[in-house]
Structure 1
Amino acid sequence: MQKVVLITGGSSGIGKAIGEHLSQNGFIVYGTSRNPEKYTESKFPILKLDVKKVETITETINAIIQKEGRVDVVINNAGAGITGAIEEIPEAEIKANFEINFFGPINVIKAVLPQMRKQQSGLIINITSIAGYMGLPYRGIYSASKGALELITESFRMELKDFNIKMTNIAPGDFATNIAAGRYHAPLKEDSPYKKPYGDTLELMNTHVDSGSDPKVMADVVLKVINTKSPKIHYKVGAFMQKFSIVLKRILPDTVYEKMLMNHYKL
């Protein structure tokens, strides 16, 4: 039986690469976007869904169930970047980022669980970020929202074991996608005490994304995870030093690790 896969944020970047790879490997794939009409040439159907609006989540998942009779894999990929000194980021923008990166995935999970429980099977993959393992300067809100999703997955896994529903995180490092273009950037104010360090850090972050890995690498990992009988709790995908930075955080004293990060960002 062909497995039915739902990918939020499946119209571009990592989500698009995953969708195309899974389609080529015999899966029935549905992607989502807030504006599906823009993606008429997609190699798999793109449905309308806004993770900030629960009613669109429910409608889309119900439509897939009505057509296919099941949902086997959900990939929570929709997300948004945000940068800036925490002091200068408006509260509304902080809340909006958590709506997309944290509450959105939770609402997608809640909407699909009744069907997966009925099937007595299912896999949910949350696309988080290596940034979620550490508080990064001028990316603190992004780190916090992705880190929260990492932790909530750990809780969900234990609560869902009785229903044969599996859940895992895949944390990418820097990939060559258009995430920088869609980020909320707190403006670089001339009179800001953070003007120089924030400006320099922003330039460095954008360079990392531009020189990032091919999203197809993520697609390969997702396929392997889907085909794994018992997925691990956490997967990390990226350059060696990005993944190794998580190991260093575990073994180094906090202040030493902080100094290492500050040296990296030239702060």
Structure 2
Amino acid sequence: MSKVVLITGASSGIGKSIAIFLTEKGYNVYGTSRNPKNIESFPFKLIALDVLKVDTINDAVNFIIKQEGKLDILINNAGMGITGPIEDTPTDEMRAVFNTNLFGAIDVMKAVLPQMRQQKSGVIVNVTSIAGYMGLPFRGLYSATKGALETITEATSMEVKPFGIKVVCVAPGDFATNIAAGRYHTPVFENSAYKENYQMNLDLMDAHVSEGMDPIEMAKAVHRIIETKNPKIHYKLGGFLEKFSIVLKRILPDRVYEKMLMNHYKL
């Protein structure tokens, strides 16, 4: 009997690639989108779910369980980007990205856990980011949301292990997706003290995404993880320098590492 998979944010980018790949591998995939009626048809089922609205999360999860009688795997992929100097970014926008990337992911986990506990089995994969391992200039808020989700993953893993549920996270680096188009960009204000450096870094970010890895590599990685009997808690997927930067952060003095990052971002 095919395993039933729920993937949030599956209408584009990494989520869409994972959904198509797992469907081709024989999984019974339910992808989600805030507005599935406005989207082209896919080879997997696409249902409505907005991670900011708990009633839509519960409706989607209950629908899948009613249709299939089980829910084996959650891939918590829905998220948003945000850029901007901490000083210039509106606090309401900061709260919004935490609500989507952290609390939205938590609410989806809370919705699927009762069914997984009843089954005494389940796998939850939280999609985080290599950016979550360090505070990056002009992406500090995004780094903070993904770093928080990594920590929540560790805690949840211990809490649900007695019920036969595995919780892991996979941190991608830069991938060639349309995430840049969906980011909240704090405007480059004319009177901002950060104007020149922020604009230069916006250009760098967009270049990194356009030159990023193919999302199919993320799909293959997620497939390997959910097929692993005893998966690790943390997985990282990116270029050599992206992954090596995490190692350097562990071994270098703080200010040396900070200087290395500032040189990279031309600050």
TM-score (norm 2): 0.99
Residues of 2 paired with 1:113 and 1:258: CA distance?
Answer: 39
The answer for the alignment partner of 2:194 in structure 1 is: 194
Residues of 2 paired with 1:30 and 1:38: CA distance?
Answer: 17
Shift in Å at residue 62 of structure 1?
0.2
Once the two structures are superposed, residues 147-168 of structure 1 have per-residue CA deviations (whole angstroms, 9 ceiling, x without a partner) of 0000000000110111000000
The answer for the alignment partner of 1:212 in structure 2 is: 212
- Is 1:134 the counterpart of 2:134? The answer is yes
Once the two structures are superposed, residues 219-243 of structure 1 have per-residue CA deviations (whole angstroms, 9 ceiling, x without a partner) of 0000000100011010000111001
Tell me how large the CA RMSD over aligned residues is: 0.5
Residues of 2 paired with 1:167 and 1:70: CA distance?
Answer: 17
Partner of 2:150: helix, strand, or coil?
helix
The answer for the alignment partner of 1:49 in structure 2 is: 49
Partner of 1:86: helix, strand, or coil?
coil
Shift in Å at residue 190 of structure 1?
0.9
Residues of 2 paired with 1:172 and 1:157: CA distance?
Answer: 20
Residues of 2 paired with 1:43 and 1:198: CA distance?
Answer: 40
Paired letter, 1:47: I
User: Where in structure 1 do 4 or more consecutive aligned residues deviate above 2 Å?
Assistant: none
Residues of 2 paired with 1:87 and 1:191: CA distance?
Answer: 13
Residues of 2 paired with 1:141 and 1:195: CA distance?
Answer: 18
The answer for the alignment partner of 1:231 in structure 2 is: 231
Residues 1-267 of structure 1: matches in 2 within 5 Å?
1-267=1-267
Once the two structures are superposed, residues 8-60 of structure 1 have per-residue CA deviations (whole angstroms, 9 ceiling, x without a partner) of 00010000000000000000000001010122321111110000000000000
Paired letter, 1:171: A
Give % identity: 63
Partner of 1:87: helix, strand, or coil?
coil
TM-score (norm 1): 0.99
Aligned residues: 267
Residues of 2 paired with 1:26 and 1:16: CA distance?
Answer: 16
Paired letter, 2:247: V
Residues of 1 paired with 2:164 and 2:186: CA distance?
Answer: 43
Gaps in structure 2 of 5+ consecutive residues = none
CA contact (8 A) 1:39 1:46 kept: no
Residues of 1 paired with 2:49 and 2:40: CA distance?
Answer: 16
Partner of 1:229: helix, strand, or coil?
coil
Once the two structures are superposed, residues 145-193 of structure 1 have per-residue CA deviations (whole angstroms, 9 ceiling, x without a partner) of 0000000000001101110000000000000000000000000011111
Residues of 1 paired with 2:40 and 2:214: CA distance?
Answer: 23
Residues of 1 paired with 2:174 and 2:242: CA distance?
Answer: 8
Partner of 2:174: helix, strand, or coil?
coil
Paired letter, 1:125: V
Paired letter, 1:179: I
Once the two structures are superposed, residues 102-132 of structure 1 have per-residue CA deviations (whole angstroms, 9 ceiling, x without a partner) of 0001000000000000000000000000000
Residues of 2 paired with 1:43 and 1:37: CA distance?
Answer: 15
Gaps in structure 1 of 5+ consecutive residues = none
Shift in Å at residue 205 of structure 1?
0.5
